[in-house]
Amino acid sequence: MSVAVDAVLEVSTEIHAWDGGHQSAEQFKQWVSARLAAHEAAIAALLAVNGPRTPENSLRLYDVALEQLNLAGAQAGVLNSVAADKALRDQAQDEAQRVSQAGTALSLNRDVYAALSAIDLSGASAATRHFVERTLLGYRLAGVDKDDATRAHLNQLHEKATRLSLDFSRNIQEGAQTVIAENAGELDGLPADYLARHTPNCDGHFILTTDQPDMQPVMTFAKSDALRERMFLAYNTRAYPANQQILLELLATRQEIATLLGFSSWANLATADQMMGSAANVRTFIARLEEASRPGAAREYEMVLEFARKHQPGLKVMNAASRGYWYEQFRRSAFAFDSQSVRPYFPYKQVEQGVLDTAAKLFGVQLLRSSAPGWHESVSVFDVVDGDKPVGRFYLDMHPREGKDKWFSATPVVTGVRGRYLPEAGLICNFPGGEEGDPGLMQYSDVVTYFHEFGHLMHAILGGHTEWAGLSGFATEGDFIEVPSQMLEEFFRDVNLLQSFARHYQTGEVLPAELIQKMKLAGAFGRADWVRSQLYYTTLSLDLHDQDPAGIDLDRITKSLYQSLQPWQWIDGNRMYASFGHLMGYSSNYYTYAYDKVIALDFFAQFDPADLLGCAAGKKYRQTVLEQGGSRPGRQMVQDFLGRDEEFSAFTDWLNEEFAAE
């Protein structure tokens, strides 16, 4: 390590905002200030370099600046999402804004761009060349070559966009609503453990929330059409009307940025450095998905509608609040599978252990519970060990609480850099359980979600040993980032794997293979409908960012797209765009989920179904994909693992598997 780097890092040695147990708003502000001071010191040292520029004397200092910025930004994001104290959450949001401003200023710094452009890369590794080339592209896409006035205006616009995005996300996070079931009859169909957690108040009413553990069972199991519709509207309006105007302002701000940078739309700017390359290529991919899913989705809907009419004579159409319920009822009849029947086999703690054991065996590591502190008393901390070598740490914050983010996500905590920092990451989820006496019985879709998020986690840890912080962990193209998560989802389908942890929480009985087979068949039914839902979200995110925002009517476009892509009847009052949080992170690029599903399924097809966790594909996948972090382009990682580009055939086979099984 150079003397210049050592001097920069003398500012502070604390890498966690919660070290020493301090998490007050003022202390966190001071902690972020120390990180930003180290960031600025590294940039100053970079610009002061005399003589020929090399990766070691220049890129290393730039990377330290990124490392400190990432550290501050990651933990501001964590505390903004999870801090129990609202004052700390508010301060974390302010700090996230401050970090973003520093990042924008860095991306528009001409002197830094010139310094990086002057680095002699002869003899540099492929990863180093990739890092520099991608960084310089990012500078050009940020507008570093614009005049001073334009760059100052871009800086203001980025600050505004960051503030709007943070406000949008906070409104979702703190916008939980309640739904009142007026009597026990409205709860008919819900599982016994759900009923045990919800007792009537003095008026005989039952108070439900829009948090996932309350909402999802209602939408899947409640017989009451009226209750499902009230829950649907409450869930889809929990950040309305506040986020309506925020979103319109954000779309206009993003478009102004794109115009200043010479792009016709934000969608074209946001895809310019992605695997997809352009909004036009996204539309080509969308058309392919639409064609592949249309026949199956139409057939699924007609089968479910015919079934529903037998139980509700005179029913003409099924609305959006009926989707989960009628699919559940159809699966019970067609596949003799009641999804409530497997919930007792999936208590939270057993699922957690099953996911840990699966990842440990698949990736050849040990996951050991740690005594290190987390940001909240309910957070579990684990160390990742490879042989006798520590390789990272992760945090599990898995159950709802007041003020906490209501979604499911993986987040970096400490950016790993070989020889400097071990990578750390966390899961912020909202699964059932977490309270004394509550086993936290999970639906099988919850278990799939757990596997999904853990795929992100292992990507962050195993990919966190790169030479450069700018290539560490999640630092791939944004439209490759969902591949590891969606690949790990597929392991849920393995009978032996499931039976290793799925045991009845009361009797200890192993989940029967016959029931697993029924679950797999039932779960396969509805895949075309899932693709249509992805098409809806994908097209909405793209269309909102690929036209003049002045002409956007959010209610009109949301409804018209839904009606063009979904067979389920639209419910007036649905304002889902106001709580569509992915519009902040992915902006126009929600296509990532469907695109990466195609790649992930092709990856999974390379594993031996007779020995998923022990076959050679696991080691190859770890080495050629996960451990690379962002050291290679996503396209190269696909080719390194598959020996070719991805093919659509695995996705088509998966999509049509339900009908092949009939």
- Judge if pTM exceeds 0.85: yes
**Where does residue 548 rank: exposed (0-12), middle (13-18), buried (19+ CB within 10 A)?**
exposed
* Residue range 465-512, pLDDT digits in tens: 999 999 999 999 999 999 999 999 999 989 999 999 999 999 999 999
Of 433, 480, 429, nearest in space to 453 by CA: 429
Contacts of residue 30, defined as CB under 8 A and 6 or more positions apart, other chains included, come to none
* In a shared domain, residues 199 and 92: no
Whether 504 and 440 map to the same domain: the answer is yes
Cα–Cα distance list, 130 to 76, 454, 471, 631, 633 (Å): 28, 27, 9, 7, 8
* End residue of a domain, out of 99, 120, 142: 142
Query: Is the pLDDT assigned to residue 8 strictly greater than 90?
Result: no
Region label for 476, one of left (φ > 0), alpha (ψ between -120 and 50) or beta (otherwise): beta
Question: 92: domain range?
Answer: 3-107+109-142
pLDDT in tens, 299-318: 999 999 999 999 999 898 89
Q: Is residue 230 part of a domain?
A: yes
Question: Does residue 275 belong to any structural domain of this protein?
Answer: no
Same domain, 630 and 495: yes
Is the pLDDT assigned to residue 22 strictly greater than 80?
no
In a domain, 575, yes or no: no
| Residue-level pLDDT at 493 | 85
Residue 615: is its pLDDT beyond 80? yes
Q: For the chain, what is the domain count?
A: 3
Q: Are residues 428 and 470 in the same domain?
A: yes
Residues in CB range of 79: below 8 A, 6 or more apart: 17, 23, 28, 88, 89, 91, 92, 375
Residue 373 sits in the same domain as residue 230: no
Residue 374 lies in a domain: yes
Could you tell me if 12 and 55 lie in one domain? yes
**Strand, helix or coil for residue 9:** helix
Q: Which residues have C-beta within 8 Å of that of residue 350, sequence separation ≥ 6?
A: 501, 502, 503, 505
- Tokens for 478? 């944004």
661 pLDDT more than 60: no
Please check whether residue 572 lies inside any domain of the structure: no
Burial class, 357, CB count within 10 angstroms (exposed 0-12 / middle 13-18 / buried 19+): middle
How far apart CA 359 and CA 484 sit, in angstroms, is: 12
pLDDT digits (tens, 9 = 90+) for 180-239: 999 999 999 999 999 999 999 999 999 999 999 999 999 999 999 999 999 999 999 999
| Distance in angstroms (rounded) separating the CA atoms of residues 449 and 442 | 10
Residue written as tokens 């994909």? Answer: 625
Looking at the structure, tell me whether residues 391 and 452 fall in a common domain: yes
Same domain, 71 and 188: no
pLDDT in tens, 412-459: 999 999 999 999 999 999 999 999 999 999 999 999 999 999 999 999
Q: Do 363 and 622 contact (CB within 8 A), yes or no?
A: yes
* 416 and 508 share one domain: yes
Q: CA-to-CA distance for 461 and 394, rounded, in angstroms? A: 8
Same domain, 504 and 425: yes
* Same domain membership, residue 191 and residue 131: no
Domain of 138, CATH number, reads 1.20.1050.40
Within this chain, do residues 374 and 416 fall inside the same structural domain, yes or no? Answer: yes
On the question of a cis peptide bond just before residue 313, with omega within 30 degrees of 0, the verdict is: no
